[in-house]
Structure 1
Amino acid sequence: MIDSLVLTNAKVILPGEVIEGTVHIARGRIDDVSTGSSAAPSAIDFNGDYLMPGIVDLHTDSLEKHVMPRPGVRFNPVLAAMAHDAQIISSGITTVLDAICIGSSLRNPERNEILMPMVEGIRTARARGLLRADHQLHMRCEITDERVVEMFEPFAADPLTRMMSVMDHSPGQRQSPDLEKYKKKQLSYRALEAEELDRAIAELMEASRAIGPVNRAALVEIGRAKGIPLASHDDETTDHITQASSEGVVICEFPTTFEAAEAAREHGLAILMGSPNIIRGGSHTGNVGAADLARRGLLDIVSSDYVPISLLQSAFALTAEDIGYDLTHAIRTITLNPATAVGLTDRGSIASGKRADLVRVSLVEGLPVVRSVWTEGRQTY
């Protein structure tokens, strides 16, 4: 952390307007924001580039891909955390909630095996000062796993746990309402015989029916007792949202239909979608498009999901004429809104007293490009 820094001649993106101005930083915090340029010899001249708050990413699967780059391959978890962090910081993300799955799934049966190595890799890298972004945890709880509650309990009081979500990836509902389409996808992912897959699917659907509701209720109770912001996942129907709202859920993560998103808005849940969905022009699973939700005013938060660098690009894409967000509104979806949703009130906007988590962005042939990043006033990229 440096004592002071001046960033000037920038297009400063504030929560409600863009100004041409200067930001003063002192002891890792934003000290002053003003219009006009600074003549201080040590000031960093942005030459008209954008200065925006550091991005806050509530959901990225990037770490898992570094720990397990290929099926059956395990990578050193500390080095994986560092490689993941390099990808995160170069994408302009200064606060990231690393998505850690608790509970195996049909597609990812090895997730329970890599759970602790992933978390310990982050803890060790943090403790040794090897990370440039602020890494916290988003614990994703698969309610069809019979051990999910006992596996989650040690994390409930962990200060790194910033968010939790409850998920049910069994087919015939939510993300995968079309059972035959689900079967075809699973056969493309894994070398299974059709009869073996049918048995596995039947067991998963039975687990959803028999233990899913019990596990969900137990997880929600633990999360609420610890004050952990809670998200639902892949909501499909109004009933899904009604249940989530009654449980104290604050974030509707990846709703799969307009019906669910509209119900989430009515119940006051923040609606989160993935940036690849915006960039690709639709969901890779065939569910509702994030841009279509945005056009109806049903989008509050954007997370990187599985492509960190797409997060900044998606915010600028929201300013397209056919979607209609102004730049400040679009930038709030990746900064202030996610920070607020999980109680990180010390960041997410450029304002006096906030953490000096800042990103310099220039447009290159229409693409937003991260030029520099500061984390608590220290240049980290």
Structure 2
Amino acid sequence: MSALELTFTGAEVLLPGKGLVDAPLSIARGQVTDETYREVNLSGFLVLPGIVDLHGDGFEPHVAPRRGVMKATEEGLIATEAEIAANGITTAVLAQFYSWEGGLRGPEFAARVFEALVTMRDEVATDLRGQLRFETHMLDHFEGLKQKLRDWAVEYIVFNDHLPHDRLSQGRKPPRLVGQALKAGRNPEAHFEMLLDLHAKGSEVAAALDTLCTELLEDGVLMGSHDDGTAKTRNYWRERGARISEFPETIEAAEAARSGGDFIVMGAPNLVRGGSHKGNVSALDLVAMGLCDALASDYHYPSPRRAALMLAQTGVLDFEAAWGLVSSGPAGALGLSDRGTLSPGLRADIVVLDKENGRVAGTFAGGRASYLAGDLAARLIG
């Protein structure tokens, strides 16, 4: 798949520090360039930096369309890329659980997804990356985790703790235990005993994390935490080198992240919908307060684009700042200095939107067309 050599003219182009301007934009050898090539008139379109999606699990229906049907992982990733590209995403972090919950969230399925990702990465235009969502109480899996991440080419880990500690501390079964056990292929009683055992080892977790996080930092692995509820929790993770706060649940946690210089990621569906479906802090409120650096797709790939456009259209942020939450902001969080803005020498990661309705007309990842539709396709071919 060759990188295109084109000069786009007639469109409004989002340039760093200038906002939307009527200016030509050229791409060649996979990068934005100052050179001039075959001109394509894109009047009526917006040319914007491609979306960098920091956290998305919307790929799950593609790689496992039904329970027990988990054998077409590579084909599922191809289908995932098609959906991702159709929504203007040029860099996508696929967030995969590694959890005691089993099934689609279990270690075996995580291995299958990441191994397929290694195999398929060079066969797609979109930069597909893996994120391991690791459950902190899985102490038996700490040893060897660093090597697994190397083998899977995963450079980003986020720590979760979804154990129902309140119930378990009382020896009570959590809600939906039977359904959860059956999804994992376990006897419900055996599943409950496993949860009790994991909970009982809680006093060992902090020391084990100290060692693990030190090893991962030395290996250059990016680390974050998920669903920080308090300033204490955010500080706990910062002390261990986890500098990304994914979906903080409260203003207090977000403020702690900001004061500590950490990156704050919120879910774009939260903003589009107008609030958290779990009753947590509103993403819109955090954006308005300056407590958000990036918006991620979470479970819905169309949402980053929609959220950025909503912020600009409602005047919460100017267009460049709003779009930065889905492009330069997440690129910075991932340490990807080669993308996020349309600057000469950076990757030609571009999304073209219909100016009238804001829909994606085309996506280019590294200068390669990953999605084309309608009038834009006709203009490129013509």
**TM-score grouping bracket, smaller chain normalisation:** 0.7 to 0.9
Q: Which whole-Å CA distance do the structure 2 matches of 1:7 and 1:185 have between them?
A: 54
**2:333 matches 1:337:** no
Q: 1:198 to 1:284 in 2, by over 3 A?
A: farther
Alignment of 1:97-246 (within 5 A): 97-105=93-101, 111-127=106-122, 129=123, 131-150=124-143, 152-158=145-151, 160-171=153-164, 183-184=174-175, 202-207=196-201, 209-246=202-239
Question: Is the 8 Å Cα contact of residues 141 and 152 (structure 1) preserved in structure 2?
Answer: no
Residue type matched to 1:71 in 2?
R
Give distance in 2, aligned partners of 1:2 and 1:135: 17
RMSD between superposed Cα atoms in Å: 2.8
Stretches of structure 1 lacking an aligned partner (at least 5 in a row) = none
User: What code does the residue aligned with 1:4 have?
Assistant: E
The answer for the alignment partner of 1:325 in structure 2 is 317
Q: Which moved more, 1:118-127 or 1:306-315?
A: 118-127
**What does 1:1-381 align with in structure 2 at a 5 Å threshold?**
1-2=2-3, 4-16=5-17, 17-32=19-34, 42-105=38-101, 111-127=106-122, 129=123, 131-150=124-143, 152-158=145-151, 160-171=153-164, 183-184=174-175, 202-207=196-201, 209-321=202-314, 324-363=316-355, 365=357, 368-381=358-371
Q: Is the 8 A contact 2:93 2:130 kept in 1?
A: yes
Alpha-carbon distance between aligned partners in 2 of 1:211 and 1:141, rounded to the nearest angstrom: 16
Secondary structure, aligned partner of 1:319: helix
Q: Distance in 2 between matches of 1:94 and 1:55?
A: 6
- Shifted more, 269-278 versus 216-225: the winner is 216-225
Shift of 1:188: 7.1
Is the 2:99–2:105 contact (alpha carbons within 8 Å) kept by the matching residues of 1?
no
When residues 252 and 316 of structure 1 are mapped into structure 2, their CA distance, relative to the original with a 3 A threshold, is same
What is the alpha-carbon distance in structure 1 between the residues aligned to residue 276 and residue 191 of structure 2?
Answer: 25
Equivalent pair of 1:66/1:75 in contact (CA under 8 Å): no
**Aligned AA for 2:306?**
Q
User: Which residue identity lines up with residue 122 of structure 1 in the other structure?
Assistant: L
1:15 and 1:329 in contact (8 A); partners too: no
Q: 1:120 is aligned with what amino acid?
A: E
Residues 77 and 120 in structure 1, CA contact (< 8 A), matched pair in contact too: no
Amino acid in the other structure paired with 1:116: A
1:205 partner letter = H
Letter in 1 for 2:109: I
* Secondary structure at the counterpart of residue 276 of structure 2: coil
Give the whole-Å Cα distance in 1 for the aligned partners of 2:352 and 2:196: 51
SS in 2 for 1:372: strand
**Contact 1:132–1:375 under 8 Å retained in 2:** yes
Q: How far has the Cα of 1:204 moved from its partner?
A: 4.6
Aligned residues: 362
- In structure 2, the gaps of 5 or more residues are 372-382
Contact 2:51/2:327, CA 8 A, preserved across alignment: yes
SS in structure 1 of the partner of residue 24 of structure 2: strand
> Are the counterparts in 2 of residues 149 and 218 from structure 1 also a CA contact under 8 Å?
no
Question: Structure 1 residues 188 and 111, CA, compared in 2 at 3 Å: closer, same or farther?
Answer: closer
Which residue number in structure 1 is paired with residue 380 of structure 2? none
Secondary structure of the structure 2 residue equivalent to 1:157: helix
Q: CA deviation at 1:66?
A: 2.2
In structure 2, distance between residues paired with 1:110 and 1:21: 47
TM-superposed CA distance for 1:361, in Å, is 0.7
| Distance in 2 separating the partners of 1:191 and 1:364 | 48
Partner AA of 1:361 in structure 2: L
TM norm structure 2:
0.86
Deviation at residue 46 of structure 1 after TM alignment: 1.4
Deviates more, 1:223-232 or 1:66-75: 66-75
* Aligned-residue identity in percent: 32
- The change in CA–CA distance for 1:294 and 1:202 in structure 2 (over 3 A counts) is same
Report the Cα offset of residue 231 of structure 1.
Answer: 0.8
Output the CA distance in 1 between the equivalents of 2:5 and 2:188.
64
